[in-house]
Amino acid sequence: MPTEMEVQTNPDDRVMKGVIPYLVIPGKAGAATDFYIKAFAASDLGRMPMEDTDDQFMHIQVEINGGALMLTDYADVGVNNQGEGPMPRGHLQLVLADGQAWWDRAVAAGCTVIAPYERQFWGDNWGLLLDPFGIRWAIMQPGPQG
């Protein structure tokens, strides 16, 4: 796991494309990152601790399946997840060639099944999970093209 000094100042352009989700998880961003490493094979690209603490983070960046995900403990940024407003709806979607393996690992790590991973009417294998931090994750494996 990178230390504060190892935080990338120029992230790999390969993962810095498209929309990059930035999750605000007050008091739990580090734990969420550790969970994503276990559940979704995330690569820890760097953590920037808040001043005077080693367990709260101003910024964390990971790579999952070739894309970037950013997290923070800092509750004054973005959506307040402390019950003072509605939680955002939606989910993070992973499109994978080996969806079942990713699904099985995430469930074994502690995700809760919202919608089972199975063939959908539109032809893809898809399922929806809830992680221990309240974030929804969809896992999709494209079906055969007909």
Q: For 92-145, how does the pLDDT look when each residue is reduced to its tens digit (9 = 90+)?
A: 989 999 999 999 999 999 999 999 999 999 899 999 999 999 998 999 999 986
Hey, do 4-72 and 92-141 end up sharing a CATH topology, with the first three levels equal?
Answer: yes
C-alpha 99/C-alpha 89 separation (Å) is 23
Q: Is the model's pLDDT at 11 over the cut of 90?
A: no
In this predicted structure, what is the pLDDT of residue 85? 52
140: left (phi over 0), alpha (psi -120 to 50) or beta: beta
Sketch the domain layout of the chain as residue ranges. 4-72, 92-141
Class of the 92-141 domain?
alpha beta
Burial 95-106 (b: 16+ CB within 10 A, else e): ebeebeebbeeb
Class of the 4-72 domain?
alpha beta
Q: For 20-29, how does the pLDDT look when each residue is reduced to its tens digit (9 = 90+)?
A: 898 989 999 9
